[in-house]
C-alpha cells in the first residue's frame, strides 16, 4: 500500500512538472505571434516506440479525430509523413508545435525555406541531434562552422563528373547483374518472366554494390565468393563465406548491419559508458563487433587507396578524391580517422536512400502501367540508335537524353522523400523570420522543421493533382503542366534540378536533397545511379504485381500509405513483383 502511494505520488509529480512545462512553452509560442498547436506527446524514442505498437497505431488511425491524429503524427518524426500537408492547411504554412519540453517551428512556405537555408549563421544545423552519426568522429554531416568547411572542402570535390561517369559504368553493370540474379533465383521461371520476392534486399545489394564500386573502388559480386578464392590481401573486401580471418562480418554484411542497426550500434558504442564491462552487456556483442569491423575495413581501404595513389595522379572514386590532396597540398587535409568517419556517413546516405527510392518506384510503376508505358516510350526514343548492350553506352551522350526516367525519380522523391524533415534551429540566440510581411521572433533553442512532405504535397506549388503519381508534370515538353508557369522565373534551379529538360518548381518547394550549402553532396551520384537502373531494367522489362488480384492491389496501396521513417522514409512490408520481358 505504501509503495503504491509512493509510485502514484511520483507519477503525479512527474505529470504536474510536464504540465507546468507545457504551459511555459505555450507562453513562449504566444509571444512569437505565430499560430500554434499543442501536443501532449514529446518527440523521443519512447513516444515513437509507443506509437509504433500495432494497437496504438490502429487506435490513432481509426479512432482519433483527424485533427488529433495528425497532431500525433506531426509530433513524432517517424510518422510525420502521414500528415502530408494537412496541418499546414489547418494552421498555415508556418506554425508552432508546442509540447512538454520544447517547441518545433514547422515551415511549409517555400520563400521562408529559402530564407532559412541561405541564413547559415542564423539558422544552423542542430548537430546535437546527430550524435548517432558521429560514432567514428566528426564528419561533413555532424559538424558546423570552420570544422564543417574543412570536411566539406575534401568531400564535396570528390563528387564530380569524372566520378559520375564511374557511377554510370557501375550502375549499368550492377543493373545487368541484378537482372541475372533475379533469373537465377527463380529456376522454375522462364527467361521471359520472373518474380522478385524480396525487393528490399535486392535493391540494398544493388545500391551497395554501386556505392562500393564507384565510391570506394571495390567491386562486389551479387553472389558471395568461396573463401579459397581470395588470393590478394585486398580481396578481403569481396563478399566471401565465411568472413576473412580476423573479422566477424564480411565487408558487405558489416555495412548492411551498420545501416540497419544504426540505433543499437550507436547506443552500444556512443552512449554506453566505457567503464561498463562489455561482458555485462552480451546483447550488444554484434553491435560492438560491427563497429570494430567496419573501422578495420575502412582503415584497410584507406591504406589500399594510398598505395593506388602512389602509381597515379588521377582520382576517380571518392576515397581517392579524399586522399589525393595529401600529395598536392601543404595545408592540413583529412586525417585517416576523418576519412573513415566521412566514408561511414556516405554509406548511410548513399545506400539505404537509393535502395528505398527504387523500391518505391518499382511498386508505383506496377500500380500505374500508363506511367510505365510513358516512361518506356521516352526511354526507347532516347536510346534509339544506341547499342542494345547498355554496357557500351556513353555517359555524356546518353544520360542527358534519359528524361522520362529522371522525371519518374523526381516524382517518386516528391511523393516519398527519403528525408521528411530538414532540421534547423535558432541556437543560443533569438532569431527573426520574415513571413507574410511580418517579422516573428523565435526564441533561443527553438527547433525548426523544414517540412518536406508538407511542401511536396502543397497544391500551391504543385496544382490540384498534387496527390497523384504523375511524372509527366516534370517533363519540359509538357506545356500543360502546372509547373510550366515557372518557366523563366529567376532562381528556381535548386540542387538536383539543374537540367534544362525538366520543369522547375518554385525554389524551396522541392527539397528531397535539402537546399543551400548543406544540400546533399551526392545528389548527382544518386540520380545517375537511379536513372541508369530504370533505363537498363525497363528497356527490356515491364513490372506488375505478382498478386494482381483486388486484394493484392489493396495490399500494395496500403503499403504505400503506411510508410514510416527512421533515418529515411521506407515501406514497412515487402510486395513481390513480377517482371515480364517486353
| Residue stretches of the annotated binding site for heme | 520
Q: What are phi and psi of 428, to 5 degrees?
A: -95, 15
Closest by Cα among 171, 182, 174 to 541: 182
**Extended beta strands in 341-461, E state:** 421-425, 431-435, 438-442, 447-451
The DSSP call for residue 423 is E
**Residues flagged as binding site:** 520
Closest by Cα among 350, 460, 485, 470 to 404: 470
Cα 521 vs. chain centroid, distance in angstroms? 12
The DSSP call for residue 125 is -
Tell me the Cα Rg of the chain.
25
Q: Which three cell numbers stand for residue 172?
A: 549499368
**Residue 581 bridge partners (DSSP):** 541
**CA gap 83, 449 in Å, rounded:** 14
The tally of CA atoms less than 13 A away on the side-chain side of residue 80 is 29
Unique residue bearing C-alpha cell 548492411:
256
Q: Which three cell numbers stand for residue 407?
A: 522525371
Closest by Cα among 351, 361, 395, 403 to 167: 395
Kind of pairing between the strands at 438-442 and 431-435: antiparallel
The DSSP call for residue 214 is I
In this structure, how many other beta carbons lie within 10 angstroms of the beta carbon of residue 63? 9
Q: What are phi and psi of 569, to 5 degrees?
A: -70, 135
3-state secondary structure of 429: coil
Kind of pairing between the strands at 447-451 and 102-107: parallel
Helix or strand run (H / E) with residue 140: none
**CA gap 213, 167 in Å, rounded:** 8
For the chain, counts of helices (H) and of strands (E): 23, 14
DSSP string across 501-523: TB--PPTTS--TT--GGGS-TTH
**CA gap 206, 177 in Å, rounded:** 9
Cβ-count burial of 121 within 10 angstroms (0-12 exposed, 13-18 middle, 19+ buried)?
Answer: exposed
**CA gap 271, 278 in Å, rounded:** 13
Amino acid at each position: 500500500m505504501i509503495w503504491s502511494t509512493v509510485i502514484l505520488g511520483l507519477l503525479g509529480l512527474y505529470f504536474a512538472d510536464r504540465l507546468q512545462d507545457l504551459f511555459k512553452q505555450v507562453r513562449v509560442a504566444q509571444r512569437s505571434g505565430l499560430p500554434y498547436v499543442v501536443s501532449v506527446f514529446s518527440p523521443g524514442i519512447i513516444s515513437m516506440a509507443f506509437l509504433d505498437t500495432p494497437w496504438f497505431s490502429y487506435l490513432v488511425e481509426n479512432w482519433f479525430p483527424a485533427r488529433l491524429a495528425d497532431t500525433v503524427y506531426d509530433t513524432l518524426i517517424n510518422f510525420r509523413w502521414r500528415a502530408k500537408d494537412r496541418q499546414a492547411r489547418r494552421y498555415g504554412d508556418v506554425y508552432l508545435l508546442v509540447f512538454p519540453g520544447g517547441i518545433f517551428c514547422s515551415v511549409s512556405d517555400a520563400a521562408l525555406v529559402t530564407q532559412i537555408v541561405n541564413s547559415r549563421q542564423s539558422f544552423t544545423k542542430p548537430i546535437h541531434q546527430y550524435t548517432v552519426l558521429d560514432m567514428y568522429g566528426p564528419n561533413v554531416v555532424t559538424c558546423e562552422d570552420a570544422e564543417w568547411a574543412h570536411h566539406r572542402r575534401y568531400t564535396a570535390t570528390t563528387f564530380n563528373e569524372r566520378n559520375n561517369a564511374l557511377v554510370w559504368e557501375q550502375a549499368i553493370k550492377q543493373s545487368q547483374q541484378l537482372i541475372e540474379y533475379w533469373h537465377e533465383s527463380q529456376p522454375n521461371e522462364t527467361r521471359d518472366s520472373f518474380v522478385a520476392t524480396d525487393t528490399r534486399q535486392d535493391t540494398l545489394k544493388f545500391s551497395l554494390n554501386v556505392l562500393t564500386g564507384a565510391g570506394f573502388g571495390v567491386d562486389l559480386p551479387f553472389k558471395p565468393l568461396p573463401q579459397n578464392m581470395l588470393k590478394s590481401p585486398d580481396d578481403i573486401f569481396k563478399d566471401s563465406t565465411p568472413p576473412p580471418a580476423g573479422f566477424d562480418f564480411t565487408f558487405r554484411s558489416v555495412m548492411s548491419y551498420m545501416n540497419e542497426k544504426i540505433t543499437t550500434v550507436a547506443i552500444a558504442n556512443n552512449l554506453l559508458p566505457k567503464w561498463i564491462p562489455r561482458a555485462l552487456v552480451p546483447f550488444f556483442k554484434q553491435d560492438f563487433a560491427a563497429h570494430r569491423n567496419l573501422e578495420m575495413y575502412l582503415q584497410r581501404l584507406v591504406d589500399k587507396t594510398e598505395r593506388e595513389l602512389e602509381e597515379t595522379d588521377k582520382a576517380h572514386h571518392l576515397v581517392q578524391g579524399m586522399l589525393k590532396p595529401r600529395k598536392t597540398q601543404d595545408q592540413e587535409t583529412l586525417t585517416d580517422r576523418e576519412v573513415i568517419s566521412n566514408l561511414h556517413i556516405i554509406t548511410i546516405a548513399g545506400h539505404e536512400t537509393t535502395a528505398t527510392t527504387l523500391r518505391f518506384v518499382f511498386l508505383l510503376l506496377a500500380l500505374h502501367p500508363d506511367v510505365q508505358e510513358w516512361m518506356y516510350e521516352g526511354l526507347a526514343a532516347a536510346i534509339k540508335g544506341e547499342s542494345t548492350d547498355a554496357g557500351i553506352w556513353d555517359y555524356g551522350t546518353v544520360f542527358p537524353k534519359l528524361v522520362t526516367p529522371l522525371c519518374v525519380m523526381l516524382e517518386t522523391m516528391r511523393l516519398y522523400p527519403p528525408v521528411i524533415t530538414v532540421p534547423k534551429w535558432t541556437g543560443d540566440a533569438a532569431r527573426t523570420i520574415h513571413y507574410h510581411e511580418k517579422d516573428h521572433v523565435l526564441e533561443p533553442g527553438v527547433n525548426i522543421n523544414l517540412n518536406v512532405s508538407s511542401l511536396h504535397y502543397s497544391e500551391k506549388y504543385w496544382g490540384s493533382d498534387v496527390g497523384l503519381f504523375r511524372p509527366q508534370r516534370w517533363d519540359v515538353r509538357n506545356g500543360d503542366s502546372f509547373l510550366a508557369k515557372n518557366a523563366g522565373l529567376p532562381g528556381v534551379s535548386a540542387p538536383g534540378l539543374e537540367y534544362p529538360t525538366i520543369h522547375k518548381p518554385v525554389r524551396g518547394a522541392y527539397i528531397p536533397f535539402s537546399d543551400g550549402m548543406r544540400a546533399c553532396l551526392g545528389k548527382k551520384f544518386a540520380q545517375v545511379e537511379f536513372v541508369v537502373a530504370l533505363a537498363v531494367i525497363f528497356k527490356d522489362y515491364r513490372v506488375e504485381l505478382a498478386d494482381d488480384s483486388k486484394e493484392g492491389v489493396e495490399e500494395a496501396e496500403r503499403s504505400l500509405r503506411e510508410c514510416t521513417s527512421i533515418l529515411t522514409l521506407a515501406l514497412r512490408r515487402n510486395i513481390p513483383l513480377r517482371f515480364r520481358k517486353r
